Structure 1
Amino acid sequence: MKKLIFKLLAITLVVSFTSCNEEYKDDNDDTLADRTTVAYFAESGSTLFVKEEEVGKLDVLVSVSEAKPYDRSFAVSIDASATTAVAGGFDYEDLNLSNLVVPANAQYGSFTVTAGDFNNSTVQGVNLVFNLDDVQDATLDYRLTHTVKIQRFCPIYAPFAGEYFIEEITPIGADGPVLNHQSVVTLYTLPGSETKRAFMTNNFPNFCATPNQFVIDLVCEEILMPVGGNRGNCVCDQGTPYLFGTAPTPTTFDPNDDSVFEVSFENDVTGNCGPSVITTYRFTKQ
């Protein structure tokens, strides 16, 4: 009787292991081809700089969550209602958006945007907006538009990086200095950007002690705030963001000399704590 029980247990275990092995699949080509893939733009936006003596090119990436063992076509279109850039070599060269593919065994496909005439470009820039319309054997989700900002680029020869003594040179209000007044900060280049610099500072140090990144944009001899402004982390009204925006008359800089420069910005764009004012800081390299 015991022998019979052991035999039945052995048969049951063999059947169980066989069933599991039949359900399990390796990541071979067949199973990869069967998986559901999600497709989206790799980024929501990018900047194509227009340079005076160089043809500017930018690759826009379409990402898929799973590689497949075959080429997959994808389709994009220009969103005419949101686009301010002009084709035909004015802001950008005419695009060939046919026969776009995500190559076999890859997780990215791409298409190239080529900048137009430098003389037509502006510091403010124009937008070229793309919609992701279809990717073969994939579900579209998450990030389905991509904005290429086409903007004039002016060379910056000095590094504008390292340690700087900063001081608020406009009158300091009742709430005290806006940033770390009369202190040394480290200015660094933001990864992936030729023009943006950043440093860590408190916002209203008399009230808030958590450092926050503050970004400046060195664009054709003017110092601007990033698009959308710098978001402050010391607020009066939790319902609205505290923003530092570009001043109506931006301060200027010498691209060859980073020893001393001034940064003006609109303090409290949204009126979070009261009417906005223009604040200026002087940066002196140490």
Structure 2
Amino acid sequence: MKLVTFSTSGEPMVGLSDGKGVAPLTGRLSEPVTDMISLMNAWDRVQPEIRAIGNFEIPLQDVTLHAPVTRPGKILAIGLNYADHAAEGGKAPPEYPMWFSKAATSVNGPYEPIDRPIVSEHLDYEAELVIVIGKRCRHVPKDRALDMIFGFCAGNDVSVRDWQLRTTQHFIGKSFDTHAPYGPWIVTPDEVSPANLAIRSYVNGELRQNSRTDQLIFDCAHQISYLSQVMTLEPGDILFSGTPSGVGAAKRPPLWLKAGDVVRVEIEGIGAIENRVVDEKAPLPA
């Protein structure tokens, strides 16, 4: 199933999509579902009702798709999780997963603009498979970790490289507003397996990254199991699972994103997001 957060002219709603149209779920189910996290919490009980829907009455072109979880409790991302990406940065593959956070305010929709910050020209893209957690969990064995997944999205871990490299902690350089676009929907695990999916990024139609998720150093199950040893994962948390080689910072000279560039991330079996880069608006005077 493809589950969306969308709007037409009013408040965002939750819906089911077949890729061509959308069937609203808000106000339609036997339990109140107002957003994606409430849908996750009711999932076991309302799933049969959703599977019975056959009429996608609103054409997809008539809706605005938003980030599927508009305000995740946690956004966690892993660095150097493809060996080729580690190598292009002159680093050895890590012994342990290198996790960092992105601020919740960095969340962005699948087709919304990405800000090129006022304070930096070193704007970069990172195509990533996004894991959406669907169950509250702690200390999950690896052989059960995939059961904690609600679904998958395509994402772009947008990075401001000079700010990222000012310290050993990536948080600031990864947390600028608009720098976590993902979507366009959540594809449930019954439709797609994360084990071996093609993942690509394009800038203005030029192929920049081209790999498969079987090249992940730490696969999805390992990521969830490892994180759950430290913290409780909750419905609506999202994990950016790493990017392959081909980022702009590794080019010689570096190919930084500029206003007008269009970045497209495609993942096999999931779909694509596409975001245009715009110059951040100057702040209003105090």
Give your verdict on TM over 0.5: no
> TM-score, structure 1 length as denominator?
0.28
Give the structure with the higher percent helix: 2
TM-score (normalised: structure 2): 0.28
More strand by share: 1
